[in-house]
Amino acid sequence: MPAFPRCVACASVAWLLVAGSVRAVAAPVVIDDFATGRGHFNSPIDAGDHTTGFFVPTSSVTHDPSVGHNAPGSLKLVIDDDPAVNFRIDDPWRLQLLSGAGIPADNLSLASTGYIGYWLKTTAGDVNASIIVNDGAGMEQGHSRPVTPDGQWHLYEWNLESRQVSEAWNNYSGGNGVIDSPTVTINALQLWTAAVPREVDGTFWIDDVSHNPSGSLVPEPASLFVMALMGLLMARRRPGYASRQQRNRQRGGERQR
Ligand SMILES: [Ca+2]
Ligand SMILES: [Ca+2]
Ligand SMILES: [Ca+2]
């Protein structure tokens, strides 16, 4: 195959691959970046119906203007466990941190496609992250994700498109373990401790509560590879293409003369 058609063929294949991967690299929508305040999360720390197990006066939810994931500003949680009250026998506490007071009309309506989630950092161990959404008349709860207690930002996200019951979601209240409405709203972020019979205190920072209707909240490595391949192919194609354009212009100029 001559050089030019081969380049065109390669570029076409790369373009088809890129077109197929655009869905995975679409930019997430940041719902709350906490740049200037607590965003939708301005309810008291004990406002959630299922919040229990810690001392409310010495626990807090505040805006931290100096700490952030992509940009300064995050939600800072301090939990002071009450050893005398556990939400289950061995599980020290549970926090249902309401978004828009848990009222669907006070939250953004989000297409029930792609992923929803948030970034969190802490050094507190034995904690799980979850999220609760209003899905039609019911509420669904994302499967618990073990929190990495290394003091670094980590993403915790849930697949809104999982259509298998109890695969990614559990019934929280009046739900059915699957997202089945065309849109959802965030009801709350949820943290709870794992089954450890001991006190768990901790400080947690949360940032960039986000939704990507087209896929994961982080670009998939395969998509990044395709983008890089596309760039390489276009770079290879450009010199020959430019010189042909130049020759055509010269020929045109010669004919005009
Ligand atoms: Ca931020
Ligand atoms: Ca407790
Ligand atoms: Ca449902």
Domain harbouring 176, CATH code:
2.60.120.260
The conformational region for residue 73 under phi > 0 = left, psi -120 to 50 = alpha, else beta, is: left
User: What are the beta bridge partners of residue 171?
Assistant: 140
Which domain, by its residues, includes 234?
219-252
Verify that 150 and 229 share a domain, yes or no: no
Is the pLDDT at 107 greater than 60? The verdict is yes
> 237 and 129, same structural domain?
no
* Within a domain: 12: no
Answer yes or no: pTM beyond 0.95.
no
**Cα 92 to ligand 3 centre (Å):** 29
Structural domain count of the chain: 2
Q: Does one domain contain both 223 and 137?
A: no
Contact residues for 228 (Cβ-Cβ < 8 A; gap 6+): none
223 in the same domain as 194: no
Identify whether 144 is part of a domain: yes
208 and 157 share one domain: yes
- Are 42 and 165 contained in the same domain? yes
Q: Assign 197 a pLDDT band (cuts: 50, 70, 90).
A: confident
CA 74 to chain centre: 15
* Confidence at residue 89, expressed as pLDDT on a 0 to 100 scale: 86
Ligand 1 midpoint to CA 155 (Å)? 13
- Regarding whether 230 and 151 lie in a shared domain, the answer is no
In a domain, 16, yes or no: no
Residue 177's pLDDT band (cuts 50, 70, 90): very high
From the CA of 89, how far away is ligand 2's center (Å)?
10
Q: Do the domain assignments include residue 193? A: yes
Q: Is the pLDDT of residue 198 over 60?
A: yes
Domain-located, residue 9: no
Amino acid identity, residue 62?
Answer: T
Residue 18 lies in a domain: no
pLDDT at 18: 45
Domain membership of residue 228 (yes or no) is yes
- Taking the centre of ligand 1 as the mean of its atom positions, its distance from the CA of residue 86, in whole angstroms, is 32
CA of 64 to the centre of ligand 3 (A): 34
Residues 135 and 239 placed together within one structural domain of the fold: no
CA distance 182 to 174: 17
Do residues 199 and 226 both lie within one domain? no
* 81 CA to centre of ligand 1 in angstroms: 26
| 19 is a domain residue | no
Q: Which residue has the tokens 């400080």?
A: 203
Same domain, 83 and 201: yes
Q: According to the model, what pLDDT value does residue 161 have? A: 96
Same-domain status, 63 and 91: yes
**Residue 181, exposed/middle/buried by CB under 10 A (0-12, 13-18, 19+)?**
middle
User: Are 62 and 83 contained in the same domain?
Assistant: yes
Query: Ligand 3: distance of its center to the CA of 151 in Å?
Result: 34
